[in-house]
Structure 1
Amino acid sequence: MTARHVFVGRSVAAVLLLMTSALAGMARAETLQGALAKAYRANPTLTGARAQQRATDENVSIRKADGRPALDTAASYSESVLKPTISFTSPQRTASANAQLSVPIYAGGAVRNGVKAAKIRVEAGRADLRATEASVFSRVVAAYMDVIRDSAIVSFNMANVNALEVNLQASNDRFEVGDLTRTDVAQSESRLALARSDLQTAEANLITSRENFIALVGSPPDDLQPPPALPGLPASPETAVQVALADNPDILASKKVREAARYDVRVAKAGPLPKLSAFSTGAYTNFLNTQEYFDRLGNPTSGAQVNKQAAAGVQLTLPLYQGGRPAAQVRQSQAVEAQAMEQEIEVERGVIAQTRSAYASWQASLQSIQSNQKAVEAADLSLEGVRAENSVGSRTILDILNAEQETLNAKVQLVSARRNAYVAGFSLLAAMGHAEADDLNFETGALYDPVVNYDRVKGKWFDWDFDPAPTPQATRTVDTPVQNANVPAGLAQQP
């Protein structure tokens, strides 16, 4: 067991088990774990990355083929349409076949180093696949939290519109009896119009979030449940960076790419070295009884109508001059290796910055939650007091409208802060390399293991050993219903 699994494994399993047990009896409810599991099975970005990794696996077999025997055969049949006028013995018809076996013995290390480079790139591809998983999961978490946030905002705005409609009706009634002025009624009408506009904007945002959820998960969001607490979050940014430097898949992939580039240099250096191979050839020719023979007097005579030959040996190729191509290829490979070194440092810098930024955003969002929670409580109390004071004439309609707007703003900011805190926390886990499928303990059967395909193809020799025609693994969303801004009736009004 690796350090990163010790770091989060038990906590993740415990949290998800509790979440699953608590929500097991809720019909139609969808959990974050369920949404992530759907994306894991059928998100096209992820299934496409798996296909790309399978293509990378084949590079090992392709490189190995350079060092394996090669057998070629050829057959021909020719019919002489017009014989040469100076040739009296040319056959009318000829059938021939030949075969050649070539076995590489030494290629300057190009094959060996090419295979090593391909194997290392397979390892880099597996790290990239891990990074793709974390990226897709981060987007799913953000989409999941967006739907929850925007549903709450729509609910708040609907309640605000309803309250302002009641206020407007009350203002009109009081205006009719001379208790309020036309200005008070106009203020109520203005705020109601603005509130309806805000509601329409909030509904559009909710529809966008739901459609984005479908694009990532493959099915519409249905009664999304509150997400579980995130496990394994670090106590300090220094701890987060230490874990990220050890476990972040982008860093691991960049290291493997740099290592593979070093073997590419060795492959290029094999260009001016000698090449040694063994060969065997065989040929068969049949003149089909059309080969004419003549004796010394020029009289026709019988002769062999079949010709056979075979040869075997070794061939040594010693390049003397190739126009400077080998040196250019070596220099080019060395430059690519230098680029890989710099990119490794660049990736490391980016991961450090990403980890520290995610930690800071997470902490800031947690503090924002506390502040906005107090703001909501204070705004609710203030609204209640303003309404009471208005009833005795010490507050105006404008005071009520302002208090209602402040309450709405505080609630919106609170649910946004909660969304931001959760997304930032998950992004922090992703930067640390702890937001992948094996960290989330999916209850969907065996996880996709890229090693299985590699073990299946790495030793294949047969030229006709094809796989079946591929079929899409991701689900289409063309049949999903167009989303609306309807909010479940049971959605709590309190943030």
Structure 2
Amino acid sequence: MAKPIYSLAIAIAGILAAPAAEAVDIVGVYELAQKNDPQLLAAKYRRDATAESRAQARANLLPTLTATGSATRGDSETSIAGTLISDVDTDNESLSLDLSQTLYNRANYEQLDIARGQVSQGEAIYQQAYQDFLVRVADAYFNVLTAIDGVTFAEAEEKALQRQFEQAEQRFEVGLTAVTDVHEARASYDNARARAIVSRNSLADTKEGLRELTGQYFSQLDPLQAELPLQPPTPATAEDWVAMALETNPAVQSAHFAVDIAEGNAGLQRAGHWPSLSLTASVSEFTNNEFLIRDDFQNPIGTTSLEVADKEIGIRLNIPIYQGGAVTSRTRQARAELNAAQQDLDAQQRATVRQTQNAFRSVIAGIQQVEAFGQALVSAESALEATQAGFEVGTRTIVDVLIAEQRYFQAQRDNSNARHSYIVDHLRLKAAAGVLTGEDLGVVNQILD
């Protein structure tokens, strides 16, 4: 049992010792993740595996050629009362070449149609995985930026409230404030310390999330510019985005191909009632040599030889008459599977409509949130300054100051979250429509510092 634990320890040590890369932007993360993300690579290999279905189905329409050969040697001795009567050595050699070509088999053509659908569906599934991959890259990147801001704000809040706590203690010692103010300041400071601990843990987790995609850590990520351009979606209506999604969303396309495959499978099962016709041809040669020995010195006294050469060509017709009802049963089963695939398509279309509309609303709301939280941050900063000034002249209490400081730092967090979510929501909308590409991350890169 010690060996697996030792191996696990080595693996963990290797992860923890992974070197951190230099500062990188979102395109750099995308390029690394494209080479290292296990989910995307697995989707690619599954697509490549599915692509072989077409070649395998096409092989049923092509001829098959088989060569068979054998060589045997035998020795037969016959003795009576210890006296050798005969000793026969036998050599046999055979060679055959068999050709088969299907002239008509409806099932083979149905199988080829199914394979084409499977290849198309495999590509659609991969495109869905790629769209998801792009969103995961952006999500992981901006999660780290949000967490970095969270640590920055939490530590600044911790220091600010620590100063308030220390000042409250000093004022209490000289009799300028009540002990309740000290307790209020201490409680706020302790809460800030706890938030700082949570934020640092969150940052570590988001960095691990980015490493999951890229296989390495980064010392620094390029942040968003201070002035973030806010642009509404193009096209400008949810209806246009929904129409686009129903045409180009890979999940919808995959569901369409699933219906095509189910239709092909229904045809394949019905083909079990149809006859099939094939051409067969063969060439074979057989040689037999026998050496008969009768004297005490085992010298051959007689030899026989046989050579046979055959050539055959023919047409084979196979007419299925009755197979115990299996073909009819499989046909009913295929029809039921087709009905299920059509319902799955309907469900996927409805889900895509909902997802696209929600993504569109998120972008519109995101613009409003960035504007609102930006203004809220300005207002919170002004309110904090006014509250601090009022506290100094005795018109505001320390509780008012603590609340104002907490609101100010919360406004910073809200503003950071809104800015980062706005970018990711834009990408999610394109992914819902099935039109997200790596170039879109390049556009995001242009608004990074």
Settle same-fold status: TM greater than 0.5: yes
Q: 1:66 aligned to 2:47?
A: no
Map of 1:423-442 to 2, 5 A cutoff?
423-437=424-438
Match of 1:365 in 2: 366
TM-score, structure 2 length as denominator? 0.83
Match of 2:109 in 1: 112
Q: Give the distance between the partners of 1:57 and 1:83, measured in 2 at CA.
A: 60
Match of 2:98 in 1: 100
Match of 1:236 in 2: 237
User: CA contact under 8 A between 2:88 and 2:290: conserved in structure 1?
Assistant: no
User: CA contact under 8 A between 1:149 and 1:416: conserved in structure 2?
Assistant: yes
User: CA contact under 8 A between 2:97 and 2:283: conserved in structure 1?
Assistant: yes
Larger gyration radius, structure 1 or structure 2 = 2
Match of 2:182 in 1: 185
TM-score, structure 1 length as denominator? 0.76
Q: Does the C-alpha gap of structure 1 residues 347 and 290 become closer, same or farther in structure 2, counting only changes over 3 Å?
A: farther
Q: Does the C-alpha gap of structure 1 residues 51 and 240 become closer, same or farther in structure 2, counting only changes over 3 Å?
A: same
Aligned-residue sequence identity (percent) comes to 26
Q: 1:252 aligned to 2:253?
A: yes
Which of 37, 41, 44 lines up with 1:47 in the alignment?
41
Structure 2: which 5+ runs fail to align? 1-20, 80-85, 294-300
Counterpart residue identity of residue 346, structure 2: I
User: CA contact under 8 A between 1:67 and 1:111: conserved in structure 2?
Assistant: yes
Shift of 1:66: 1.0
Counterpart residue identity of residue 399, structure 1: D
Q: 1:280 aligned to 2:284?
A: no
Shift of 1:218: 3.0
Shift of 1:117: 2.1
Q: Give the distance between the partners of 1:310 and 1:252, measured in 2 at CA.
A: 52
Match of 1:385 in 2: 386
Counterpart residue identity of residue 105, structure 1: L
Q: Does the C-alpha gap of structure 1 residues 441 and 280 become closer, same or farther in structure 2, counting only changes over 3 Å?
A: farther
Asked which structure has the greater RCO (Cα within 8 Å, sep 6+), the reply is 1
Q: Does the C-alpha gap of structure 1 residues 408 and 175 become closer, same or farther in structure 2, counting only changes over 3 Å?
A: same
Which of 211, 215, 220 lines up with 1:218 in the alignment?
215
Counterpart residue identity of residue 425, structure 2: A
Bigger Cα displacement from structure 2, 89-98 vs 387-396:
89-98
Cα root mean square deviation, aligned? 2.8
Q: Give the distance between the partners of 1:105 and 1:439, measured in 2 at CA.
A: 51
Q: Which has the higher strand share?
A: 2
Q: Does the C-alpha gap of structure 1 residues 106 and 171 become closer, same or farther in structure 2, counting only changes over 3 Å?
A: same
Q: 1:32 aligned to 2:57?
A: no
Q: Give the distance between the partners of 1:81 and 1:182, measured in 2 at CA.
A: 115
Shift of 1:302: 5.2
Shift of 1:68: 1.2
Shift of 1:434: 1.6
User: CA contact under 8 A between 2:232 and 2:367: conserved in structure 1?
Assistant: no
Shift of 1:56: 1.2
> Matched residue of 1:205: which SS?
helix
Shift of 1:422: 2.2
Q: Does the C-alpha gap of structure 1 residues 369 and 44 become closer, same or farther in structure 2, counting only changes over 3 Å?
A: same
Q: Does the C-alpha gap of structure 1 residues 171 and 280 become closer, same or farther in structure 2, counting only changes over 3 Å?
A: same
Q: Does the C-alpha gap of structure 1 residues 52 and 199 become closer, same or farther in structure 2, counting only changes over 3 Å?
A: same
Map of 1:26-425 to 2, 5 A cutoff?
28-80=22-74, 92-107=90-105, 109-221=106-218, 222-226=220-224, 233-290=234-291, 303-425=304-426
Shift of 1:400: 1.1
Structure 1: which 5+ runs fail to align? 1-26, 293-299, 443-490
Q: Give the distance between the partners of 1:28 and 1:322, measured in 2 at CA.
A: 69
Shift of 1:333: 2.1
Q: Give the distance between the partners of 1:341 and 1:173, measured in 2 at CA.
A: 75
